[in-house]
Structure 1
Amino acid sequence: MNKINFYLLEYAYSYILRHKNKNIFIVTVFTLLVALLATLFFVTSSLRYELKERIANQSDIIIQNYKAGMPAAIDVSVLDKLLEIEGVTAGKLEVQGKYYFRPKESTFYLLGVDAFEMQDDPVVAKLLEQYELSDSEMLVSKNVQDIMNQAYYKEYFNFIKPDGSLHKVSIKASFDVGERVELKNLIIMSKDTLREIFGYSADEGSDIALSVANKNELEFISSKIRLLLPNAKVTSKDDLLLEYEKLFDYDSGVFLSLFVIALFTFFIIIYDKANGLSSEEKREIGILKAIGWCVEDVLHAKFYEATLLSFFSFTLGLGIAFVYVFVFKAPLLGAIFTHENMLEIHNFQLNIHIELSYILLIFLLSVPVYIAATLIPSWRVATLDADEVMR
């Protein structure tokens, strides 16, 4: 087809309007199929991208001490042993953890920092460049500040220590986390202050973070650490990547069920359409042939008709999915892909990140299939004699 025949295009458009009841049903099903598939792909691609960004801000290897299967403090002497492992370039004893604020049923994430210590997260590093913290001060996120204000903590907060006593820490300033929603409950304070709140001694911390020169040796070095510290939990960036790949594997039952149901419904319609034309449609093609239309003209008109319907439905479906996922943040369906886990991806932003390969896959699964299902039966009828078709 070298150029568009606008007379045939006008006929195809008028045909769609004349059979609007049938075509409204087709457009509705087609649009819902595209919207469902696009929603699934948009949610997973956005979360994959967000999780990769989070993992990029993680240390290469994290070591946590466990006693009787429960997390426990880790001593700084362990760090000296780990730094002797070949391939480990740097390490630090971290002090961090969760703090449950019962009156508001909220969980804060407490991070201990040292003024001259290198920070893996750029948000934390920028805040420490801006503010200088004393042992009696802390920085809180805007969300944490709102929660504390509701409990009438405006200038300070009383943390409850393991022995039941209170430790008062002043609020120096609050900060906006922007799109980093995983940091929305973050509180930053000095390591010594946090040690006192958690009941650690001066030589203890929550975990040890290591940097590795060759990222291809992460698993090898992790294996060495597991042999050296059999009671420790060792988590590398590769382990985190593997963990979220399992979470978003397309073989997951929920995704596969939705995918199969959507395709099955669509291909039932395609099968019904490709199986033959109605008597009214056959009669119309016979009349067109009787007044001088050739087979090519009929197929061009049917091609325009199928293209208008499929492209309109495809575009509308993508638009609905885009608004649902990136404007309304995928209510209900988003909860299928986000839950409590080691990456805490239940705090998700769903920023706009679309992989064109997904859109191409949806297009190939829908538009060409529908056009072919329209052209094949039309070609069968158009090749017959006009009187035979109209009879």
Structure 2
Amino acid sequence: MKARSIFGKSPTEVQIALKEAIGDGFIPTLAIVFISIKQDRKAVREILAAQSIDVFGATSCGEFVDGHQSKGEIAILLMDLSRDLYAIVFEDMGAQSIQAAAKKVASSALSNFSNPTLIICSTGVTPDSEMFDGMSLVHELSESIGRDRIFFGGMAGDDFTLTGTSVFTQNEETNHGLVALVFNADKVSLNGMAITGWKKLGISRKVTHSKGKLLYSIDGKPAVEMYLKYLGKGEEGEDQEFDLLNELSFEYPFITERENSQEILIKSPMNIDHEENALVMDMEMMEGETFWFSVPPDFDIVEEIINEAKEVKNTVGEDSDALLVFSCAGREPALGPLVTMENEGLAEVWKSPMAGFFTYGEFGRAKNGQQHVHSTACCWVALKEK
């Protein structure tokens, strides 16, 4: 399999880049498209369709290829993989549950290949502007397709507007659903990892009152007051205009431990419900749940990610044909240029064309871990035709 990455600030630029990419025996069959909601997705799909290129796509909170990182643009990874080695599965959820949609994706994957692996993207927010329940998706997909199956991916973004995300194929699109790129694992290998890098800060805390995604009290004290004061922002508690997500949550989310596991899960306060005097979380926090405040990674996170990638590569014993990176939208504002160093470093390790986007959640496995949904993670996967 050969791969090439292209980018553009408009469909016209993409068309020019595509024309330049095709040639020298490279005739792509598949395009993985990460695109801003500001861009004309239909036009990009038509450009690719004119070249008989299949499409797997998601909207982004920023996108990148090797050597170029952008906001509001279009990033595409082109591959010339034989069509008998992959299938694209699209599921518009409509009124059905996440569990039902996941079961259908698993059934389709298994009907295409006896030994499937997947790249999967879901929408990132629901039509009601609630965060998509990635935890339920990962659990049901793992149960339905088999816990030993590998899948990586992310939840679509919308340039941080929380107004609506999309996933799409060449002919279909939804603002509430899934798209899966299914590979024959006997012919195409996927090797990857999800790493967060956030560290525990101080002593453990306990949720003492919560309801759904509303967190009312921590250690018997008002959650809003405790969180803001702990991070030196106590005076902002009454400010209706205070942007909790951008000012604090990207850098200082909560660390919880996954059930029956030493792996961690990051949960982030999204905003403040002033009427309820509660933190609105991206994921539910149960009463009695233990967690820690956190601090973002230091410079050594880049070294950690690169070293882990080198270890995986040494185990595999070869370069990859292509690389995909699903990086949490919160990493860029929290880590700044370190995020670019992560992405470029991964591409250099694997010596392959790369494309990725900033997500509202990531799907993958931590080192020696199970299949999970992640938050604040850098989740990467290297593809290789056997």
Q: TM-score, normalised by structure 2?
A: 0.20
- Find the structure with the greater CA-based Rg: 1
Q: TM-score, normalised by structure 1?
A: 0.20
More strand, by proportion? 2
Structure with larger RCO (C-alpha < 8 A, sep 6+): 1
